[in-house]
Every structure is written in C-alpha cells, then in structure tokens.
Amino acid sequence: MFGGSLVTAGALGATNDTWELAATDAPTINEQPASQIRLAGEHATFNVSAVGHGFVAYQWYFQNNLIVGAQSDTLTIPSVGEATVGRYYVRVGSQCGSVTSRVATLTLNRNLQLLSAPGTIALLWSPNMNDTNVFLETADHLTGPWTIVPNPTIPFPVTPAGPAKFYRYRKPD
C-alpha cells in the first residue's frame, strides 16, 4: 500500500487531502515450470518466476496433493523414480491473491538406462513388447557406423575395460 497527502491552496483556503493507492492484482507468473524427461535416479528441478505486490509465497503440488515444505520458487526431486513421476504445479500467492502455474509433467525415460555397480556396468533397455521391430545398436564412435546387437539380453552387460562404446535404442527406418 502506498499513500501520501496533497496540500493545495485555492480561493477558499488551503486543503490537505490524503490519498492511498492499493495494489489489487494477484501475482503474475513470468516463467512457468517446464515438463521434463529423466532417467531413474537422476534429479529433476522445476522452477517458477513470479512477481507480485509485497511478499510472494509459493506452494508446490504433486498429483494435486500439497508437498509439505516445498515453499520456494524451485522444487528439486533428488532421485526420479516410479513414485515421483507425474504432474507438478505451484500456487503463487501474495496479499492480493494467488495464481496457479501450468502443470509440468515429470516422465521417467525407461527406454535406455545405464546401471553401474561395483565391478559391473549394464544397459537396461525395455523394448515395447508389442513392437518387435526395435533394436539395440552399438558403435565405436558417436557418428557410427552403427551395428545391431544380436539377441541382446536385458540387462545387457557392458565391458568396462577396453575402448569406449556408444549404444542406442531405435526403430529402423
């Protein structure tokens, strides 16, 4: 709230008028949280940027449920997994009202993942069982040439010793 006084002089004498200006608009979201695709175990961070009159407060929600303690302009999911994928949004409020962000969806990328344990490295890949025309391919260089891995197991063991290899999961053209 802003205020002040105005002193004017006229034919009838001086007057002292006071005025007050009050902000009545709810906060404005300048940057919406963005949807993300992450591998299992990776972290995901949602951000929102908002402006409003006075103090601006934040409250994040997951699947329409309030996330206890998630009250800043940033929400970090430290380890993405089955229990953390879904719809996130934030309510931004001030003394003049509140506004809800767009929904940002966190999706788990199950197609190709790297699993590392002491002494072993494996690729986890999950082909769609309804689509038999999908291949795991390998190459010595990112630019190829690419070779189909014949009858790969799931998980597919990767040899930790030796030259670097590149892997991809794709449907042929």
Q: Is pLDDT of 49 > 70?
A: yes
| Contact status, residue 88 vs residue 65, Cβ threshold 8 Å | no
Q: Is pLDDT of 6 > 60?
A: no
Q: What's the pTM value of the predicted model, to 2 decimals? A: 0.57
Residues of the domain holding 117: 112-170
Residue indicated by tokens 């790297």: 114
Q: For the segment 131-152, what is each residue's pLDDT rounded down to a tens digit?
A: 566 778 888 887 888 888 888 8
Give the per-residue pLDDT at 2.
47
4: in domain:
no
Highest mean pLDDT among 59-68, 134-143, 162-171: 59-68
147: in domain:
yes
- Which of 108, 140, 156 is where one domain is finished? 108
Give the 3-state secondary structure of residue 115: strand
- Other C-beta atoms closer than 10 Å to the C-beta of 90 total 28
Q: How many domains does the chain have?
A: 2
| Contact status, residue 32 vs residue 104, Cβ threshold 8 Å | yes
- Which of 108, 131, 153 is where one domain is finished? 108
Are 49 and 88 in a shared domain? yes
Give the per-residue pLDDT at 112.
67
User: CA-to-CA distance for 44 and 37, rounded, in angstroms?
Assistant: 9
Q: Is pLDDT of 9 > 50?
A: yes
Average pLDDT of the residues of the chain = 80
